[in-house]
A and B are shown apart, each in its own frame.
Chain A
């Protein structure tokens, strides 16, 4: 993640990858909508930088969702082992 280090323009981001400015702008637009990056106008250029806190927040809720499923499946393991013994 380049913009984690410094704010950049779509042009400079595109130069670092094998892609076009248009493609980069499209990704940035989505990320901006999700509030994962923020824009800053400086003269004619728009600089993009990463919203670290928002990123952490997302990471946190992904982990929480993962935990729900882990819990759920551990409970299912239990239920399955009971059902297996009932069957026998």
Chain B
């Protein structure tokens, strides 16, 4: 079932943009909530065994989400997302920066655009991430996610086990 869901991922070095398209087997309302509510975001946004911890989140224009990716050893890597534009259940934009635990941002950051659309009960999400520097893009990967990769296989196995039980 998973394999039918569209997923494409492209990196354009010239425009310094990462573009991601993904279809989810759920209605728009639910998917929108999953991307815009802290309590749901924290459940999926960190690749296991990392955890996402949101200190606070005000999903409104000019509002912020201050959160950390927590490593299995308990290391916290903080980031700030500032919402720059919101059109409910259609799209939103944010500016993402790495930060320290005192909420001091490390500029420059990256611009994130999210677009949502529903078709036949499936929801398509388009994400484009513009990075001012490619170096930062490189850091996004180095920033702790390495352990996440090795865990990918485990996640998938758990997922498949869960699905086959249904």
A76 cross-chain contacts in B, Cβ below 8 A: 24, 34, 44
A80–B47 touching, CB < 8 Å:
no
Of all chain A residues, the one with the shortest Cβ separation from B31 is: A80
Which of A8-16, A41-49, A57-65 participates in binding chain B?
Answer: A57-65
Mark interface residues in B124-166 (1 if CB within 8 Å of A CB, else 0).
0000000000100110110001101101100110010010000
Main secondary structure of the interface of A (DSSP, over half): helix
A62 cross-chain contacts in B, Cβ below 8 A: 11
A contact residues, range: 20 to 34
Q: Is B61 in contact with chain A by the CB < 8 A criterion? A: no
Bound CA span A72–B50, Å: 11
- B1-51 contacts to A, CB under 8 A, are 2, 5, 7, 9, 11, 13, 18, 20, 22, 24-26, 30-31, 33-34, 40, 43-48
A-B contact count (CB 8 A): 85
Cross-chain contact of B152 among A71, A83, A87 (Cβ < 8 A):
A71
Bound CA span A80–B125, Å: 14
10 A-B contacts, Cβ less than 8 Å apart? Answer: A34-B13, A65-B9, A68-B47, A73-B7, A73-B22, A75-B43, A75-B45, A79-B44, A81-B25, A84-B26
Assuming A68-B47, A69-B9, A71-B148, is B134 touching A34 (CB within 8 A)?
yes
Of all chain B residues, the one with the shortest Cβ separation from A75 is: B44
B34–A80 touching, CB < 8 Å:
yes
Q: How far is the CB of B110 from chain A (nearest CB, A)?
A: 12
Cross-chain contact of B11 among A65, A72, A79 (Cβ < 8 A):
A65
